């Protein structure tokens, strides 16, 4: 026990790089992690444990790690009782049925009587029950995508993200069973050890700031003085925007933090209102 908070991350997979990227945006300086089970953070009281993602909920529930980053798909499948502290906004994927390209699957009822290979038997069985479908479920621990070509199953129910795995295995995606993204989990809403809980709250604050920062952009532009009011009406700003005077007398500079996805909706309105030199900059952190 070194008094550090212990965070479990996926050892090797879709979430590994993105999770480390999030931590680094949180200002954490992480040693080279390749092939190591535990890595300490140089400038923050955190140890990172690299584990199989499927094992993370259980390790967190058992206290081997205090918190973990894992897909909601794994959290719901394992039902270990861990709590979701924060949705992280990356690692979005869907649990979907997929079947060999040469076959057809038009309606969900066509799954009746078929054999499905999956690593998510609990979520799948729940879905089949809800849709009143009788099918045989085969639980595999990995490489589900090769089951149809091996003749082990008619179709699979697996995680699809980019779709590359399906494409490489000549499988076509079909109905969606579950949607997922990466989440931060812990055994309890609040950690029992007050010191660890303090570290967790610090980390959570940083994560939230990175999340808002990433969904926001810093907008800068020059506007004619007499269209300032119109411009301010167009900007969905988090706080009141900054208005600065420019050397050119009838012009002003306006700076504002806006939601990233709003920019393209308002850019034409801004231009018609006379805005020029429009700059949109990324934000690393945003503390509110
Ligand atoms: C899933 C799934 C595929 C892959 C699909 O694995 O089993 O292997 O992601 O992604 P793609 O559509 O981008 O090709 P996951 O990373 O969830 O972890 P696993 O190693 O535990 O299967
Ligand atoms: Zn897994």
In the chain, which residues have pLDDT < 50?
Answer: none
Helix (H) or strand (E) holding 198: helix 194-214
pLDDT at 32: 74
Q: In whole angstroms, what separates CA 118 from the centre of its chain? A: 22
Q: How far apart are CA 257 and CA 202, in angstroms?
A: 24
d(CA 86, CA 208): 8
The token pair that represents 28 in the structure block: 């954490």
Which DSSP state fits 262? G
What is the structure's pLDDT at 284?
84
Closest ligand (CA of 142): 1
Can you give the pLDDT at residue 238?
A: 65
pLDDT at 112: 97
Does residue 77 have its Cβ closer than 6 Å to ligand 1? no
DSSP string, 89-144: S---EEEEEEEETTS---SGGGGTT-EEEES-HHHHHHHHHHTT---EEEE-SS-G
**Does residue 162's CB lie within 6 angstroms of at least one atom of ligand 1?**
yes
Distance 68 CA to ligand 2 centre (A): 14
What is the Å distance from ligand 2's center to 54 Cα? Answer: 5
Amino acid 268: pLDDT:
93
With a 6 Å cutoff on the Cβ, whether 197 touches ligand 1 is no
Q: State how beta strands 46-51 and 83-87 pair.
A: unpaired
Phi and psi angles of residue 146, each rounded to the nearest 5 degrees, phi first = -95, -5
Rounded to the nearest angstrom, the distance between the alpha carbon of 94 and the centre of ligand 1 is 10
> Which residue has the least CA distance to atom 7 on ligand 1?
159
pLDDT tens-digit map of 79-117: 999 999 999 999 999 999 999 999 989 999 999 999 999
Ligand nearest to the CA of residue 12, numbered in listed order: 1
Beta carbon of 13 within 6 Å of any ligand 1 atom? yes
Chain centroid to CA 187: 20
pTM for this one?
0.86
How far, in Å, from the CA of 164 to the mean position of ligand 1? 9
């Amino acid at each position: 026990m070194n008094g550090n908070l212990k965070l479990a991350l996926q050892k090797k997979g879709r979430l590994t790089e993105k999770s480390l990227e999030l931590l680094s945006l949180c200002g954490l300086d992480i040693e080279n992690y390749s092939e190591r089970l535990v890595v300490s953070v140089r400038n923050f009281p955190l140890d990172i444990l690299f584990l199989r993602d499927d094992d993370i909920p259980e390790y967190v529930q058992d206290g081997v790690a205090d918190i973990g980053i894992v897909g909601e798909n794994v959290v719901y499948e394992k039902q270990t009782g861990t709590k979701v502290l924060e949705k992280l906004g990356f690692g979005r994927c869907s649990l979907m049925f997929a079947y060999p390209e040469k076959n057809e699957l038009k309606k969900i009822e066509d799954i009746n009587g078929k054999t499905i290979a999956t690593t998510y038997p609990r979520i799948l069985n729940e879905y089949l029950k809800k849709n009143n479908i009788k099918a045989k479920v085969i639980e595999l621990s990995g490489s589900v995508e090769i089951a149809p070509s091996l003749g082990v199953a008619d179709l699979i129910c697996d995680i699809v993200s980019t779709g590359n795995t399906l494409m490489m295995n000549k499988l076509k995606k079909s109905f969606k069973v579950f949607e997922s993204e990466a989440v931060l989990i812990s055994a309890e809403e609040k950690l029992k050890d007050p010191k660890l809980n303090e570290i967790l709250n610090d980390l959570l604050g940083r994560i939230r700031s990175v999340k808002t920062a990433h969904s926001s952009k810093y907008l800068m532009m020059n506007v004619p003085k007499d269209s300032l009011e119109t411009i301010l009406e167009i900007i969905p700003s988090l706080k009141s925007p900054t208005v600065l005077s420019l050397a050119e007398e009838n012009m002003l500079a306006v700076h504002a933090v806006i939601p990233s996805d709003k920019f393209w909706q308002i850019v034409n309105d801004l231009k018609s209102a006379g805005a020029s030199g429009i700059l949109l900059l990324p934000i690393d952190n945003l503390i509110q």
